Amino acid sequence: MLDMLAWTVPLAPLVGCLICTILAFRGDRDWAHWPAVMALGLSAVCTLALVFTRSDESGITVIHGYTWIDIGSLRLDIALRLDSLCLTLLTVVTVVSCLVAIYSRDYMRGDPGYARFFAVFSGFVFCMAMLVMANNLLLLYAFWEGVGTCSYLLIGYYYQRPSAARAAVKAFLVNRIADCGFLLGILLLSYAIGQTTVGAGTSIVGRLDFGTIFDASQELFNKYPDLVGWIALLLVVGAIGKSAQFPLHVWLPDAMEGPTPVSALIHAATMVTAGVYLIARMSPLMEYAPNVLIVLAWLGAITSIAAAIMAMFQYDLKRVLAYSTASQLGYLFMALGCVAIPDMMTIAVMAAMFHLFTHAFFKALLFLSAGNVMHAMGDVIDMRFFSGLRKILPKTNILFGIGAAALAGLPPLAAFFSKDTILSLLADASKDTDYGGHFTGLLIVGFITAFLTAIYTSKTYFHTFWGKQVTPPEAGHHPHEATTIMLIPMYCLAVGAIVSGIALGPTGRILDYIATTPGMDALHGEHHEATWVLIASTLIAVAGVGIGFRLSTVSTSHSKQTSSEVGFAIAEFGRNRLYIDTIYQTLIVAPAEWFAKWLGWFDETVVDGLTQLVGQIPGLIGLMLKRMQTGMVSSYAMVTACGIAALALWIATQ
Amino acid sequence: MESFIHNSLIGAGVLLAQSDLDKVGTPDWSLMAFVCIAFGAIGYYCLQFGIVKSNVVTTVGIVSLVASGCLVAVTQTASLELYVFYAFAALATAGGIGFLTARQPVYAALGFATAILSGAGVLFMESALFVAAATMIVYAGATIIIFLFVLMFAQQGDLSTYDVRLNRPALACVIGAILLGTVVMAVQAIPESDSIAGNGMKMRPLSQSTESIPSSTAGLGRSMFTEYLFTVELAGTLLLVATIGAIAVAQRSLEAE
Amino acid sequence: MTQATTHLVYFGSLIFTLGMVGFLTRRSLILMFLSLELMLAGVSINLVAFSKQHHNYQGQVMAIMILTVAACEAAIALALIVSLSRRKSTLDVQAWSELNEVPMRSAELPMTMKDQTMHFPKLTTAGLEPSVSPASVELGYENWDALSQDSEKPTEKTQHA
């Protein structure tokens, strides 16, 4: 029973993907959502069933699928691993994807690639589910790549638009860079485990089963402490690319070229959380590389601050949300950095997963609301061209408001609790003897980011929905509210955004749940939320909202953005994404393109030239031999006589 | 008279032979032969070059050929038969060289005839009387006549431009020299013996051997019509076919006019 | 081999070589043919030499066969030479080099063949059907103009009409 449920979760979307692919080839535009929605609904139901049937079980369940390769020392089993960590993320993935699929039935209606959208959508969910449930690190990597591919296909959904195509390629390439590091880490890990006693007899791939990794990690640390650090660093590189942290964050804003449901699902709730999931999953190994975790935490912190600054100055609504995603993911990594401190591993992982859970809900809600706005405004998403939409989009107004409040961290909405968990975790960690200084700094960064988050979130909300009503000419005469089918998923997400925080956090449910994951250390003692953190974050959130309101009304009442020169320069800096993209372009992309062009020239001229030269050799030989065909009898006779003379000479000398 | 000539010839031969005293006992052809061939080749080349261009070169050529001949002569033991043979050989060489280097086709034919006749003479010396006679009749007779007739038909004017210069004489010289050299080398590789019995060749015909001169033609006839009858009949058929063919070819060329 | 045989073999080879050199260097068809005959003579001398050595008639019979073949060959070859020289009106063997790939080095060895007027096939102008298939006009390229003019006439008539 359990394995049937478990296998339905990834395989139902796969079947949906295949059916939608067939429908895509037939050019279907009406029915393609049915296979996808039904499959995703089924997998969501199965996930919830799994959660409830296993609620009293602790430990893991490994469910074998089938053996794909079994050649000598190479054996690849496809097996699922169910534990509470996995099921947490799986719930997020399946439920949110089901809701977004229902939403996109109306959003994508009329588009010529309707079926293609749902096909890749379901394929993505299949890959993500398998990624989450994989028992083997290499299998996880395979579906990691699959998720990247589906993301590429979905970002480049409007492939005829050059900016979309470029954005898709950019996302894929940046992910690829990270994946190279990830793969190196996997290979190193496989090699290292082979050297330990635990993994001595296992096959090269079988070594990478999570159970084996966790069993071997202590011994690995004793034998090769430096190697563990390198492996952890490489895994972190992979996580950074997928989760859009500095310095590999450049693809996430451009990924907004895809349709809004894609942004909602992939770039808010699921794919970008894969990196977090990886680190959380590997935390029994990562706890032996504390320096790497500190580096990771700082990278997350840098991303948080930088993304928050950039979000303040963007015109594009979706890009604001993209940067806020990056910023919140930075929070997650800051939380995971606490794994470095012994005794805090379980709580760190719990905090990260909690925030991930709540973030998925309200971020998806925000994105879908942005989709509503875009639909109503005739595909215009530049905030300079509209404002004051509360009369046109009343329901979206409320929903966006809920999501924005959640994001800002206003109590009693979801993110208040999850963000607070992280901040109090950091506060606890700053008391540690070894790395306390780091965590103090991280805590300060966390507060600043929370402040900035509140500012830009409220600024965006008030600008979009309050103030004078301005609609762009593309909106037509009567911009309308979203349809019911689009609103129902948003209601569900709003419920999740409101409730999930209270339900899971303070009650300690999620803590206990995650703690049952094997590999996590047992809880030592009780965990108290520091009260001063609660108060401080509330104050910060309220202050940020106020300032944001002020900035937004200021920006609507006054035509120019900021008055001071410095402010203007900072705004430009932020709007141009801190020029990081420009730096990358000049330092990395342009030389690479030049090199590629040179290689192309080399291939065409030198290699092809050589090949053609070789190809012309028979011609040249023919030219030379052609001279023998003079057609003159005397020449022929001469040649014959030469041959006879040579032959005679040779025979005579034998 | 005969003895005087005989003695004088022997004396001359001894005189000449005394210049190479060490070579009298065992005639060693090996290096001498190649030198002779080389001289001959140079001589021919200079001759064909010099006839058109300059007389000096012609003289050089002739001198070279003569030197080659003398070299041949001095390294052999003296005997009358051998000197007659050398005379024929010299005549044949002269005829051949003349055939090769003549500019007028008729002079070439003359050289050709001389060479053939010298060959026939040698054949006479070797008691192949019928073959010698047949050679003279067919080659020096029929072939030359046909040639002259064709020359009458086909030759336009006196001397055509294509006869003035030979076609790659140097390469042809080298090839000829190489071939002659290889023949010399091959022949010298065979051990010398005075009779056949030492060589182990067993080719006894049905007819009797040709040790006596008068029965040579008769013996040839007997051999031809008993052992090689089939060959003879084939040869006759071939002649018939050739005759018909020649008439047919000639007819068609007449029709094409 | 006896010494006599040796001498004869040298002699025969000499005649043969002279004939071969003549065949290679000569440009006139008749003289090339004569060189062939000289080669055959040299060979027959060799055969007779060996016949003398072996004391049997095999060599002589072969020599007689060679003679026969030479005679046949002379007849046919000279008939062919006559007809060939009629085609090109020259006895130069280098006139027959149509199977060549490389143009002749005509500067070194001057040709005497007369320049032939080349007959290029005349194609009908585009759009018109040739009225007569070329296979039925045997090498009569001179009539091609008339044929193409014939095919043009009907259209001219229709225009006038």
Which residue carries 């209606």 as its tokens?
A: A109
Q: Which pLDDT does position B160 carry in this prediction? A: 63
CB proximity under 8 Å: B 44-73 to C: 44, 48
* C39–B contact, CB cutoff 8 A: no
Please give the Cα distance from B210 to B229 (Å, whole number): 20
A529 within 8 A of A421, measured Cβ to Cβ: yes
Q: Which pLDDT does position A560 carry in this prediction? A: 47
Report chain B residues whose CB lies below 8 A from the CB of C24. 167-168, 171-172, 175
* B190–A contact, CB cutoff 8 A: no
CB proximity under 8 Å: B 150-169 to A: 167-168
Convert the pLDDT of each residue in A359-389 to its tens digit: 999 899 999 999 999 888 888 888 888 888 8
pLDDT band, very low/low/confident/very high, at A448 (cuts 50, 70, 90): very high
Choose between C106 and B134: higher pLDDT. B134
Q: Do C102 and A629 touch (CB under 8 A)?
A: yes
pLDDT band, very low/low/confident/very high, at A528 (cuts 50, 70, 90): low
**DSSP string across A105-133:** HHHTTT-TTHHHHHHHHHHHHHHHHHHHH
Q: Which of A204, A256, A250, A522 is nearest to A379 (CA)?
A: A256
* A649–C contact, CB cutoff 8 A: no
Convert the pLDDT of each residue in A376-422 to its tens digit: 888 888 888 888 888 888 889 999 999 999 998 887 777 888 888 88
Nearest residue, CB atoms, B162 vs list C28, C74, C82: C28
Q: Which pLDDT does position A479 carry in this prediction? A: 74
* A644–B contact, CB cutoff 8 A: yes
Please give the Cα distance from C120 to B6 (Å, whole number): 76
Q: Which pLDDT does position B197 carry in this prediction? A: 46
Report chain A residues whose CB lies below 8 A from the CB of B181. 649, 652
pLDDT band, very low/low/confident/very high, at C123 (cuts 50, 70, 90): low
Q: How far is B12 from chain C (nearest CA, A)?
A: 21
Q: How far is A617 from chain C (nearest CA, A)?
A: 18
Mean pLDDT of A45-49: 92
Q: Do A642 and B175 touch (CB under 8 A)?
A: yes
pLDDT band, very low/low/confident/very high, at A54 (cuts 50, 70, 90): confident
Choose between B155 and A484: higher pLDDT. A484
Nearest residue, CB atoms, B138 vs list C18, C71, C89: C71
Please give the Cα distance from A392 to A486 (Å, whole number): 16
Report chain C residues whose CB lies below 8 A from the CB of B162. 27-28, 90-92, 94, 109-112
Please give the Cα distance from A75 to A67 (Å, whole number): 7
CA distances from A461 to A387, A401, A402 (A): 9, 7, 10
* C70–B contact, CB cutoff 8 A: yes
* B172–A contact, CB cutoff 8 A: yes
User: Chain A interface, mutation test: which of B165, B174, B178, most A Cβ atoms within 10 Å?
Assistant: B178
Chain C residue with Cα closest to B119: C45
**Token output for A539:** 């104050």
For residue A152, the tally of other CB atoms under 10 A from its CB is 22
Least confident of A262-271, A567-576, C119-128: C119-128
Q: Do A653 and B185 touch (CB under 8 A)?
A: yes
- Asked whether the predicted pLDDT for residue C110 surpasses 60, the reply is no
pLDDT band, very low/low/confident/very high, at A453 (cuts 50, 70, 90): very high
- Asked whether the predicted pLDDT for residue A189 surpasses 70, the reply is yes
Q: Which of A187, A195, A186 is nearest to A223 (CA)?
A: A195
Mean pLDDT of A88-98: 91
Please give the Cα distance from A508 to A411 (Å, whole number): 17
Would you give the end-to-end CA distance of chain A in angstroms?
90
- Which parts of chain B sit beneath pLDDT 50? 1-8, 11-27, 196-210, 212-214
The verdict on ipTM greater than 0.85 is no
Mean pLDDT of A591-612: 87
CB proximity under 8 Å: C 83-112 to B: 83, 85-86, 89-92, 94, 109-112
Report chain C residues whose CB lies below 8 A from the CB of A631. 96-101, 104
CA distances from B92 to A41, A359, C7 (A): 114, 118, 14
Report chain B residues whose CB lies below 8 A from the CB of C30. 105, 147, 150-151, 154
Convert the pLDDT of each residue in B220-229 to its tens digit: 888 888 888 9
Least confident of A56-70, A231-245, A460-474: A56-70
* C147–B contact, CB cutoff 8 A: no
Q: Do A634 and C20 touch (CB under 8 A)?
A: no
Chains with 3+ CB–CB pairs under 8 A to B are A, C
**Token output for A635:** 């020449």
Highest mean pLDDT among A229-233, B16-20, C129-133: A229-233
Helix-helix angle B144-154:C29-54, to 10 degrees = 170
Q: Which pLDDT does position A58 carry in this prediction? A: 61
Chain A residue with Cα closest to B190: A652
For chain A, the average pLDDT equals 84
